[in-house]
Amino acid sequence: MYTIFFITSFVSIDFFALLLDGRAEPLLIYCLHSLKYLFLYGYLCFLLVYTSIAVNQRIHGDNIFKLFITPLAVVAFLIIINYSYSFIFYITEDGKFEYGRLYPLLYIIDAYYIAISTHLLLRGKKSLSQNYKIIIPAVIVILLTGTVLDYLFPYVSFIPFTFTILTTLVFIGMQNPYEYYYEDSQMMNKNAFITMCGSRFTSETNTLCIAVNIHNIDLITGTLEISKVINAEGLFLKNIKQFSKKLLTFKLANGQYIIVLDESNEAKARLIYEETLHIMEKFANATLFSFPIYSTCCLFSSPKDVSSLRMVNTLFDALKLYDNKDDILAIKPEELQLKSDAEIERIEKLVKNALNENRLEVYFQPIYNVKEKKYTSAEALIRMKDDEGNNISPGVFIPIAEKSSVIIDIGAFVIEEVCKLLSTEHLSALGLEYVEVNISMVECLQSNLASNILSVLKKYNIASSQINLEITETSASEFTDIVDTNIKTLSSKNISFSLDDFGTGYSSLSRILSLPLKLIKIDKSLVQAPFINRDKKSMILLDNFIKTAFAAGFDIVAEGVETNEMAKHVIALGCTYIQGFYFSKPLSKTDFVEAIKVNKPAEI
């Protein structure tokens, strides 16, 4: 709109100046041509601002004044004194426009603008998006060509024609503003974040940011009216902007917000961070909702803590693990133990070659049966080693594997290893009823998942009742038709399902009830919280989750049980099975087979 305003004004004034040339008062003609030049150089100033923002991805007030506004002021000054000296242009007594002897002075201003634009382009070419890499050089070439032609043929009016081409080019290259915002709340989205801030996360740029992760966002969006959620986001944005206008706030995903500070002052950044914590604390205690908003905040910098956009995603993944049901957590970047880009790339390579290089191994964690007082089932867990034989945490390599097709190969490896063990060791004769195998959402989306699993069972002559497939509550809320079809097919073949991490995803109860589930596994964060925090709220929350699952008719597994006190409590609440270090850590195949043969769990 800025472009259209300047060019329309310029062309309109030029049109009337030509139309009235020799037909109106000389002062009117002089004023029209003066305005024409002011709008012309005003637009050149805009093009430089446009270039600077594209290259630097931020507005520097001092630079804009020195580089852009000053030449415009020089032009205005020349036009004012030109009225008395007529060295740029003059109006004859009969009202006709004529160029003065020093008219080329204006072309020096043109050359200045072109030189600065070229300098900015060359300096920031690495950070430019593909659109800008094409558009800005084209703008410079067209502007240069139009200036030269206008100088050679001053009465032909090449400049309006040049500006028309520039307007079209800028319009074509512009990002659709609606692609930058969420339609409901009008908050800037991840696409806007990547476009506007992508070049800030490098080893050469200092940037300070605040990350805010809301843990119970699914409960909020699934329970409240959308208008209240939008209202809450609006209040959050308004409060942040009131504290400082030099902020860019983005919503990367539901419950994930990042505030990019145009500040290099760490003390000022710390004040803004403290204000953010205060705002989130107000939300936690607000009467706007019938429940508090639990969040985790982190002040971090680039390149010290985060050196790429990928590491920003890693940071938010790490923040999710700090789910706290009682108060707001302020996490320091070093506590997150973020992996560097080089480390992530190293792990990606290890994951891709894991199967070929025999880096994968399946471990088994026995599950205690409360009624029979022994192990009757187990969960299969994948483990991976690096070049030196050190274990890599599944929390590190599984998310990486899920971003590629490698997770499908890993899933196939696990089901193959489980069936092979059940076949060779005949564990069902020792009282092991079934083994739980985790399947990821990526695997569930494969149309041939059911046929592949059934073919492996047939290959090793394993009864379908000996396998239980685990899906997480979070993935259960994202099911598609393909996933539903896979589950129905496998369920019809007598393969049972369990819901893992119950209490963390906030799926609707109706959705959970629609699934053919045999087990509900209460997440360890809920099981452990009452014994770590020693408060009534955590205990009430755990009790309610177990009672809800029990009332719905499911068998219940309590995960993460690490003490005798925990075991006694979940048994009293009605849990059918218990899984955790109190009974057994994950075991290698050999140790697991021995544990099932002995089958003497810890006493309760």
Query: Which of 338, 359, 381 delimits the end of a domain?
Result: 338
Q: What are 158-182's pLDDT values in tens digits?
A: 766 776 676 666 666 555 556 777 7
310/372 same-domain check = no
Q: Where do we find the tokens 């560097």?
A: 340
Write the DSSP string, 486-510.
HHHHHHHTT-EEEEEEETSS---HH
Residue 368 has φ and ψ, to the nearest 5°, of: -80, 130
Residue 206 has what pLDDT? 82
Q: Is 477 helix (H, G, I), strand (E, B) or coil?
A: coil
Q: Does residue 188 lie within any of the structural domains?
A: yes
Q: What are 125-156's pLDDT values in tens digits?
A: 655 556 666 776 777 787 778 778 877 887 67
76/138 same-domain check = yes
Q: Is 516 helix (H, G, I), strand (E, B) or coil?
A: coil
Given a contact cutoff of 8 angstroms between Cβ atoms, the answer to whether 386 and 598 are in contact is no
510/370 same-domain check = yes
Q: How many CB atoms lie within 10 A of CB 202?
A: 16
Given a contact cutoff of 8 angstroms between Cβ atoms, the answer to whether 445 and 484 are in contact is no
Residue 126 has what pLDDT? 56
Report the greatest alpha carbon distance in the chain: 115
Q: How far is CA 555 from CA 10, 45, 475, in A?
A: 76, 70, 20
Q: Is the peptide bond before 333 cis (omega within 30 degrees of 0)?
A: no
Sheet holding 295-302, edge to edge: 247-253, 256-261, 207-214, 295-302, 329-331
Residue 506 has what pLDDT? 44
Query: Which of 173, 199, 215 delimits the end of a domain?
Result: 173
Q: How many CB atoms lie within 10 A of CB 450?
A: 19
Q: Is 392 helix (H, G, I), strand (E, B) or coil?
A: strand
Nearest CA among 34, 48, 17, 71 for reference residue 166: 48
Bridge partner residues of 259 (DSSP): 210, 249
Task: State which of 160-169, 184-193, 396-405, 463-472 shows the largest mean pLDDT.
Answer: 463-472
Q: Where do we find the tokens 């100046």?
A: 17
227/185 same-domain check = yes
pLDDT band at 564 (very low <50, low <70, confident <90, very high): very high
Residue 52 has what pLDDT? 67
Residue 163 has what pLDDT? 65
Q: What are 102-129's pLDDT values in tens digits?
A: 888 888 887 887 787 777 767 666 555 5
Nearest CA among 171, 121, 156 for reference residue 141: 121
Nearest CA among 114, 5, 30, 125 for reference residue 80: 30
**pLDDT tops 70 at residue 26:** yes
487/454 same-domain check = yes
pLDDT band at 184 (very low <50, low <70, confident <90, very high): low
pTM of the complete model? 0.56
Residue 296's domain is classified under what CATH number? 3.30.70.270
Q: Does residue 266 lie within any of the structural domains?
A: yes
Residue 456's domain is classified under what CATH number? 3.20.20.450
238/360 same-domain check = no
Q: Does residue 603 lie within any of the structural domains?
A: no
Residue 355 has φ and ψ, to the nearest 5°, of: -70, -45
Q: What are 45-80's pLDDT values in tens digits?
A: 777 776 666 665 555 555 666 667 788 888 889 989
Q: How far is CA 404 from CA 315, 440, 450, in A?
A: 20, 12, 20
Q: What are 321-335's pLDDT values in tens digits?
A: 776 545 557 888 888
pLDDT band at 468 (very low <50, low <70, confident <90, very high): very high
Task: Tell me the C-alpha distance between 34 and 14, whole Å.
Answer: 10
404/334 same-domain check = no
Listed in order, strand segments (DSSP E) in 76-131 are 89-91, 97-99
Long-range contacts of range 83-88, CB-CB < 8 Å, 24 or more positions apart? 83/30
Average pLDDT, stretch 416-439?
A: 93
363/330 same-domain check = no
Task: State which of 314-318, 325-329, 365-369 shows the largest mean pLDDT.
Answer: 365-369
326/349 same-domain check = no
Number of domains composing the chain: 3
Q: Does residue 604 lie within any of the structural domains?
A: no
Query: Which of 123, 139, 173 delimits the end of a domain?
Result: 173
Sign of CA dihedral 55, 60, 65, 67: negative
pLDDT band at 413 (very low <50, low <70, confident <90, very high): very high
Q: Is 275 helix (H, G, I), strand (E, B) or coil?
A: helix
Q: At what angle do helices 524-533 and 536-551 cross, to 10 degrees?
A: 150
**pLDDT tops 80 at residue 503:** no
Q: Does residue 513 lie within any of the structural domains?
A: yes
> What are 436's two structure tokens?
């739980």
Bridge partner residues of 89 (DSSP): 99
Q: What are 84-99's pLDDT values in tens digits?
A: 889 988 999 888 888 8
Task: State which of 163-167, 249-253, 491-495 shows the largest mean pLDDT.
Answer: 491-495
Q: Does residue 570 lie within any of the structural domains?
A: yes
> For residue 121, what are the domain limits?
2-173
329/359 same-domain check = no
6/127 same-domain check = yes
Q: Does residue 429 lie within any of the structural domains?
A: yes
Residue 307 has what pLDDT? 82
499/588 same-domain check = yes
Residue 551 has what pLDDT? 81
Q: Does residue 96 lie within any of the structural domains?
A: yes
